[in-house]
């Protein structure tokens, strides 16, 4: 096992090639290597520039509404024992989730690089909406690739992207979902990488994205750590976040790596443990390379990305960011899972008991905090990343789980 010094961790990882231990890197078609090299060089310069940092700070404060508060769930805590559950309210960001944190960073980077267009794919449309928002803010063009099937399913998000001025490219080949949208977005980027930048929606993809997106999300953990200490006088005993690709989790976790705090990443177990019923990549996955990086992933019998499922469309990704695979391998972060039903339960509980309707993704983390609170050796203070709000999920959940109202 690699010996890690968490005092210097953020300087030491990833290495210059983008590796967190044996995970990460940049596995690109040769035609795209110069484009990612350019992004890497630009970010290396800009992340130390006072002008860039100050401008990002101003945007976070004036446009996004940061700092987001930390909230003590007194009623929820009381219901489940003696643990005290706190939420970092990323749902209160402009556009309703943490994704805007890295999209504004990527947009600002594009502007500094003199790019004119942001390109990305989206599945459920959450990344597309956040990126289209950033593009509108910076006066950049935006091109979002989306499978035809997803376009039909996610009409409100498609309408939002169009309202914000983005061009939504319908991808009509293959299964017409996220996988094909990724290929289509890459193709478009390849044709025009001089004028555009490819914006990845989580701590995944080729270097430097896992590092860059983590850095842009770190504001979540840095704020939360300070706010929590001011409120309670202590560090939390446990921090918890949902893990799809892993960006909201890395944002929270990175501020606590050098603290005596237990860290839990929560994956979606969907409806069961059979391949195809879940997206618990860390629990059931193996080492491999997909989407341009090396990590832990779920593979089908041919070694291709396996089909995944979760009630939370933001969590149904067949891999995890390489930094998560690394932190798991060195034992610093524990990964566990929550079923659809448990997440839906937490969705209703948090809504009724605290007046906060969570994103169904975030409800996975809330459900896990409730489980921790019910353990015999329960943590005293639990801090949960409430990554987003649940407006987008209400119709579906109320239709499917009408009996619980
Ligand atoms: C997209 C999304 C997630 C999952 O993405 P990560 O990169 O794992 O954070 C979690 N919560 C919400 C609200 C999301 O929109």
Ligand 1 atom nearest 389 alpha carbon: 13
Determine the pLDDT at residue 346: 98
**217 CA closest ligand 1 atom index:** 9
Would you state the pLDDT for residue 54? 98
Distance of CA 88 to the CA centre of its chain: 14
Q: Is 18 in the pocket of ligand 1 (CB under 6 A)?
A: no
- Closest residue to atom 3 of ligand 1, CA basis: 314
CA proximity to 248, closest of 385, 126, 369: 385
Helix/strand/coil for 233: coil
Could you tell me the distance, in angstroms and rounded to a whole number, from the CA of residue 127 to the centre of ligand 1? 9
Residues of the chain with pLDDT under 50: none
Mind telling me the catalytic residues?
73, 98
- Residue 349 and residue 341 in contact, taking contact as beta carbons nearer than 8 Å: no
Query: Ligand 1 centre from 99 Cα, in Å?
Result: 7
Alpha carbon distance, N-terminus to C-terminus of the chain: 48
Q: Are strands 19-20 and 23-24 parallel, antiparallel or unpaired?
A: antiparallel
CA distance 405 to 392: 17
Residues 6+ apart with CB under 8 A from 140: 107, 110, 111, 115, 116, 117, 118, 134
CA dist 186 and 349 (Å) reads 41
The dihedral through the CA atoms of 329, 279, 312, 207 has a sign that is positive
Residue 220 near residue 252, CB atoms below 8 Å? yes
- pLDDT at residue 350, rounded to an integer: 98
Residues 2, 39, 132, CA angle at the centre, nearest 5°?
110
Cα 93 from Cα 82, distance rounded (Å): 30
Give me the sheet containing 23-24, strands edge to edge.
19-20, 23-24, 293-297, 286-290
CB of 147 sitting under 6 A from ligand 1: no
71 to 78, 85, 164, 235, 382: CA distances (angstroms): 15, 9, 31, 15, 11
Tell which atom from ligand 1 comes closest to the C-alpha of 359. 13
pLDDT at 175: 84
Closest alpha carbon to 60 in 249, 245, 217 = 217
pLDDT digits (tens, 9 = 90+) for 15-71: 999 999 999 999 999 999 999 999 999 999 999 999 999 999 999 999 999 999 999
> pTM for this one?
0.97
Q: What sign results for the dihedral spanned by CA atoms 157, 160, 162, 164?
A: negative
Q: Using one digit for the tens of pLDDT, what is the confidence trace for 290-345?
A: 999 999 999 999 999 999 999 999 999 999 999 999 999 999 999 999 999 999 99
> What does the pLDDT read at residue 174?
87
The residue whose CA has the least distance to atom 10 of ligand 1 is 361
């Amino acid at each position: 096992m690699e010996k890690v010094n968490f005092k210097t961790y953020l300087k030491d990882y990833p290495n210059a090639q983008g590796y967190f231990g044996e995970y990460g890197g940049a596995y690109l078609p040769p035609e795209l290597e110069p484009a990612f090299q350019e992004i890497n060089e630009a970010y290396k310069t800009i992340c130390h520039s006072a002008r860039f940092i100050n401008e990002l700070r101003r945007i976070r404060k004036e446009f996004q509404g940061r700092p987001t508060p930390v909230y003590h769930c007194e009623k929820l805590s009381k219901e489940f024992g003696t643990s005290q559950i706190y939420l970092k309210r990323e749902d209160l960001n402009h556009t309703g989730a943490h994704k805007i944190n890295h999209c504004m960073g990527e947009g600002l980077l594009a502007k500094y690089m003199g790019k004119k267009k942001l390109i990305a794919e989206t599945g459920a449309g959450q990344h597309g909406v956040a990126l289209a928002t950033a593009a509108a803010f910076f006066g950049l063009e935006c091109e979002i690739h989306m499978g035809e099937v997803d376009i039909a399913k996610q009409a409100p998000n498609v309408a939002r992207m169009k309202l914000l001025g983005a061009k939504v490219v319908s991808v009509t080949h293959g299964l017409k979902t996220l996988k094909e949208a990724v290929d289509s977005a890459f193709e478009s980027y390849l044709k025009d990488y001089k004028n555009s930048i490819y914006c990845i929606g989580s701590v995944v993809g080729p270097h430097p994205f896992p590092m860059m997106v983590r850095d842009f999300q770190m504001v979540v953990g840095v704020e939360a750590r300070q706010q929590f200490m001011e409120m309670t006088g202590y560090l939390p005993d446990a921090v918890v976040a949902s893990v799809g690709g892993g960006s909201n989790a890395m944002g929270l976790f990175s501020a606590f790596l050098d603290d005596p705090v237990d860290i839990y990443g929560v994956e979606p177990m969907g409806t069961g443990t059979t391949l195809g019923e879940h997206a618990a990549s860390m629990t059931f996955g193996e080492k491999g390379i997909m989407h341009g990086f090396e990590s832990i992933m779920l593979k089908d019998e041919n070694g291709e990305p396996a089909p995944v499922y979760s009630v939370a469309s933001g969590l149904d990704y067949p891999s995890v960011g390489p930094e998560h695979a690394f932190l798991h391998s060195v034992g610093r972060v524990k990964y566990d899972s929550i079923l659809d039903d448990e997440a839906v339960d937490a969705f209703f509980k948090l809504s009724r008991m605290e007046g906060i309707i969570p994103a169904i993704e975030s409800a996975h983390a809330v459900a896990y905090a409730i489980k921790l609170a019910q353990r015999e050796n329960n943590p005293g203070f639990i801090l949960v990343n409430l990554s987003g709000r649940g407006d987008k999920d209400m119709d579906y959940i109320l239709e499917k789980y009408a009996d619980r109202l």
